[in-house]
Amino acid sequence: MLCAGALQAQPQAADADWRYRIQPGDTLITLTDTWLAPGKTWRDLQKLNRSPDPLRLKPGSTLRMPVAWLRSEAGVAETVFVKGEVLRQRGTAAEALAVGAALQSGDRIRTGPQASASLRFADGSRLLVPPDSEVTLAQLLVLGRSAIPAVRLQVQQGGADHRVAPNAQRVPLYEVRTPHVNLGVRGTEFRVQTAGAQTRMQVLSGAVHADGLGADVASGQGLLAEGNARTVSALLPAPDLTALPRRAERLPLRLPWGASPAGAVAWRAQLFVQGDFDRLLLDARVSEPVASWTEARELPDGGYTLRLRGIDARGQEGAAADADIQLQARPEPPFIQAPAAGAISYGGTMALAWTRNTAAPRVRLQ
């Protein structure tokens, strides 16, 4: 686990070490050639790790390599999904972000209302930037000949959902900074939200180290950072979606569920392309157990996945429940013009009239 500051150019503590798990056949000579920058030798590794024999290393043991010693090159992140108004700022120039665009150190991403973007790093780790957020890719590097990524992100406002690819032998360096707390990560999944004087973080798997805390924040826990204060608490369990309708035939889209879990004062509802959690389409925080989006009129009929989380009184978003939804709302039904609701006909015939839908040249009358 790497603490905050592990990616700084001049590490100030022993915690700024990268720890490599020895594989069969490794020697200090081969590891030096693979990982260390010119100027560092296997003797430096031998002295640091007190290894008696540079040719005989125990598989499964760990070897310390200071981050400052590692060979590094500039890295990039790939844009894999964009929805809505998403801007990339590079220096003083800003332009719309497009799928396939390569992002580099220093690029800043801004998402507008109901806009989102997903990025993929060199090792397959993913970053989802939700609506109304601002995230800077402060540092993107690849380390050694095996191109392990070293990533430092700054979340200035809004949120960021992270899926960091785990690797038992070669731990990536992944750091997230907010105005209130710095977070150091190894293979894990976690979310961060920052607003005003507070930052919230929820760990879904693995563990995250936060500055100002002695112990890591574990899976199923959340962190609230405000000034120098750090509060760790258990996250709410996932909501029960038994009552959620799995087929929607009317617009605007309205999806109700039962008021769960206990302790939820609000909910975070997100709609994704079915089974693809890189492609966030709609996002809302709601105070009642129902999600309704007028923007769903822009979505084609088809399959989607609703992801739902309860929010507790501290503002922490809990574990997620997912459910597939089938949208089948077209053609939209006509509006009845006659007879009026409750009308009574005493004659032998009754006139029936409705609006015309150009997308449906014929209607079924029952």
Contact 301, 313 (CB under 8 A): no
pLDDT of residue 150: 87
pLDDT tens digits, 233-258: 999 999 999 999 999 888 889 999 99
pLDDT tens digits, 19-71: 888 999 999 999 999 999 999 999 999 999 999 999 999 998 999 999 889 99
Q: Which residue has the tokens 């109304």?
A: 132
Q: Which CATH architecture is the domain 247-327 placed in? A: Sandwich (2.60)
- Residue partners of 268: CB distance under 8 A and separation at least 6: 283, 284, 285, 308, 309, 311, 317
Please provide residue 312's backbone torsions phi and psi, each rounded to the nearest 5 degrees: -90, -175
Domain boundaries, the chain: 14-68, 73-234, 247-327
Tokens of 327: 């949208």
- Residue partners of 278: CB distance under 8 A and separation at least 6: 80, 81, 118, 126, 128
190: confidence class by pLDDT, cuts 50, 70, 90: very high
Q: What's the pTM? A: 0.84
CATH topology of domain 14-68: Membrane-bound Lytic Murein Transglycosylase D; Chain A (3.10.350)
Contact 202, 233 (CB under 8 A): no
73-234 is classed CATH 2.60.120.1440: yes
Q: Mean per-residue pLDDT for 294-322?
A: 95
Q: Which of 206, 210, 240, 199 is nearest to 6 (CA)?
A: 210
| pLDDT above 70: residue 131 | yes
76: confidence class by pLDDT, cuts 50, 70, 90: very high
Q: Mean per-residue pLDDT for 211-234?
A: 94
139: confidence class by pLDDT, cuts 50, 70, 90: very high
Taking all residues of the chain, what is their mean pLDDT, rounded to a whole number? 89
pLDDT of residue 8: 32
Alpha helices in the chain (DSSP H): 28-35, 42-49
pLDDT of residue 6: 31
10: confidence class by pLDDT, cuts 50, 70, 90: very low
d(CA 291, CA 130) in angstroms, rounded, equals 17
